[in-house]
Amino acid sequence: MSFIKKFRVEAGTKVNLSKIDAGYKGKHESHKHALPEIEAFSNKLHDLQYLMYAEGKRSLLICLQAMDAAGKDGSINHVLSAMNPQGCYVRGFKIPSKEEAAHDFLWRYHNETPAKGQVAIFNRSYYEDILVVRVHDLVPKSCWSKRYELINDFEKLLHDNGTHILKFYLHIDLDEQLKRFKVRIDDPNRHWKISDGDYSERKFWPQYTEAFEDAISKCSTEHAPWFIIPSNHKWFRNLAISKIVSKTLDSLDMKFPEPTVDLDEIKKKYHDIVEKRA
């Protein structure tokens, strides 16, 4: 089984997160053992993003969803460190503003999708509107249950207009989440990440799990696949995401555009300048 296929949720598959090992780390024994491969795919990601930016014909949208402390920020830092900021950006989505709430639930997300040549990373995304609203009963089921189809249509629209979509669910278990909360408590540099919601939301773990399973099952399609990434080991999470993104971009067979100037004429001007300076 290929690396991508192992973590990809095929369309029509019913997801059961309890059967997926959040501590999986593949063939690698440790971060040190995996480091050469991590660095290789980071370098490849850098080159492919540069090629996408130069080609300017398509774009990439990466959506990150997870339970609290699963590593969305860490994943973003790892991916961004390999990319040129000129062609990549991150958008996070919190409680809708008054203006946003006055529109349909997808309105605020559509405006943030990437233009051709760009990579956009959504730290949480439109999937919050079938997760949080469901768990906390913010809108009736008759409302949020219709959003799966609307999301699939929205992603198809983006894909048909040149945006490739990769969606990652960062999978950790309850014990690992508690360990990471403790790190936030013990490390003064992480105190800013602590919130009351970290602990109050833990009691909704079963409800969130069910909501994620339904969202992933109903919205993993050929053109906008979901990947479930074992994330108890941060280094494996980073390796898996960079490898999947790199291999996906590599499969697009992107090409550098032809020059828009007469190269012979440019070369002649260059040599004339060099000769004059000599």
Digitized pLDDT (tens) for each residue of the chain, 278 residues in all = 688 899 999 999 999 999 999 999 999 989 999 999 999 999 999 999 999 999 999 999 999 999 999 999 999 999 989 999 889 999 999 889 999 999 999 999 999 999 999 999 999 999 999 999 999 999 999 999 999 999 999 999 999 999 999 999 999 999 999 999 988 888 888 888 877 777 788 999 999 999 999 999 999 999 999 999 999 999 999 999 999 999 999 999 999 999 888 888 888 888 888 888 87
* Residue 230, pLDDT score: 97
3-state secondary structure (DSSP) of residue 268? helix
CATH architecture of the domain formed by 3-277: 3-Layer(aba) Sandwich (3.40)
CA–CA distance, 191 with 227 (Å, rounded to integer): 30
Structural contact between residues 235 and 34, judged by C-beta atoms closer than 8 angstroms: yes
| Angle in degrees, CA 87, 80, 201, rounded to 5 | 120
Q: How far apart are CA 61 and CA 167, in angstroms?
A: 8
Cβ-contact 8, 227 below 8 angstroms: yes
Concatenated DSSP letters of 98-154: HHHHTS-TTHHHHTTSPPTT-EEEEES-GGGGGTHHHHTT-S-HHHHTTHHHHHHHH
Every domain of the chain and the residues it spans: 3-277
Q: Is the pTM of this model over 0.85?
A: yes
pLDDT recorded at residue 1: 66
Query: Residue 153: CB partners within 8 Å, gap ≥ 6?
Result: none
